[in-house]
Amino acid sequence: MADSAGSTADQTNTAENNTTNEKKPEETKSEWANLSKDHKLYQFAQALAGEDGILHTAGYNEMYGVELVAPSEGSPSPHTTLVILQKFLRANVDDLEKAKVQLSEALKWRKEYQPLKARGEVFDGDKFKGLGFVTKVRGATETKNEEDVVAINVYGAAAKDSKKVFGDTDAFVRWRVAQMEITLAELKLNEATKTIPDYGKGPDPYTAINVHDYLSVSFFRQPAEIKASSSKIIDLFQKYYPETVSYKYFVNVPLVMQWMMGAMKALMSKDSIQRMTWMTYGSELHTYLGKDLPTQYGGSGPALEETALTPKYAESPTAA
């Protein structure tokens, strides 16, 4: 099953030169300080303000742990607000009206669902422990980042009793949202100093990598509870977590399933295809994400259970 996604805002209410002369992202921040009025990012920021603006209408102003601030006379929106707005613009292929709608809906959802709170909630370890991790790696070959945040989902951990893990769809979704919010917190968007290029002009430096590990998972017998949870997560992440993932790696995928997934490429956009990689063996993953990975993925790093971040779990009761 795969899904398509420092201090934080108060969720209850607001929430060197080189030979190619390529600009460093840090050096371009001033470009956003002087946006022209016809730039869509400028117009998007303006749409936040006023009684009819996005923030007032939604009644909420936190997104991905960043407090969104509308511009006022003589005071533009903060850089971190523009980072979030640019994400929504890119996710909508620079269509400003669609970006406005998606941001509005995402704000309303966050107001109701309170996803930031999920990070501090305690989940059933018997159901979810070992299923998801958040870690960092250096040396990823497909990004320009010195270090990348990686969210890893090990679906084999649920293979023996899928009904226990996925049977309560709402509980699973809440757990998966908690993992996503931990991932976003590691991106430190509320401390962002780099700019994000306009759509089609370069990668977003503030995105995570997803790894989906299917070791011991049967692709030919998908229980109804897995299908239900999978569908809900995919829909939710597409709607409310745009521009949060750069690349997806599907590991321990049987060759026959890779053939079937290859056939699915005809239904995908070129951009989506370029961001997805399937491999038969998990030990191949280090060729893409470097040696910081644990040994099962071909790296030399510590076990995920030792150092990676996870949602909180209740201790399993011990026998008397």
Q: Residue 256 — very low, low, confident or very high, per pLDDT cuts 50/70/90?
A: low
One-letter amino acid identity for 278? W
β-bridge pairing 245-251 and 276-278:
parallel
Cross-strand bridge partners of residue 135:
150
Q: Looking at residue 230, what is its pLDDT? A: 87
Task: For residue 294, report the phi and psi dihedrals to the nearest 5 degrees.
Answer: -70, 170
Locate 271 and state its tokens: 């951009």
User: Helix, strand, or coil here: 249?
Assistant: strand
One-letter amino acid identity for 128? F
Q: Residue 260 — very low, low, confident or very high, per pLDDT cuts 50/70/90?
A: low
Of 245, 249, 243, the residue nearest 289 (C-alpha):
249
Question: How confident is the model over 26-39, as a mean pLDDT?
Answer: 76
One-letter amino acid identity for 259? W
Of 79, 67, 66, 91, the residue nearest 26 (C-alpha):
79
Q: Looking at residue 302, what is its pLDDT? A: 97
pTM of this prediction? 0.86
Q: What's the mean per-residue pLDDT of the chain?
A: 87
Find all residues with CB under 8 Å of 238, minimum gap 6, and list them.
Answer: 4, 5
Could you tell me the domains of the chain?
A: 25-113 (no CATH), 117-314 (3.40.525.10)
Q: Is 306's pLDDT higher than 80?
A: yes
Taking a C-beta distance cutoff of 8 angstroms, is the pair 217, 156 a contact?
yes
Taking a C-beta distance cutoff of 8 angstroms, is the pair 180, 313 a contact?
no
Of residues 260 and 294, the one with the higher pLDDT is 294
Instruction: Tell me the C-alpha distance between 200 and 283, whole Å.
Output: 33
pLDDT per position as a tens digit, 110-129: 999 999 999 999 999 999 99
Cross-strand bridge partners of residue 213:
154, 251
One-letter amino acid identity for 78? P
Of residues 285 and 25, the one with the higher pLDDT is 285
Instruction: Tell me the C-alpha distance between 100 and 40, whole Å.
Output: 11
Cross-strand bridge partners of residue 136:
149
Listed range (13-22, 36-45, 186-195, 288-297) with the worst mean pLDDT: 13-22
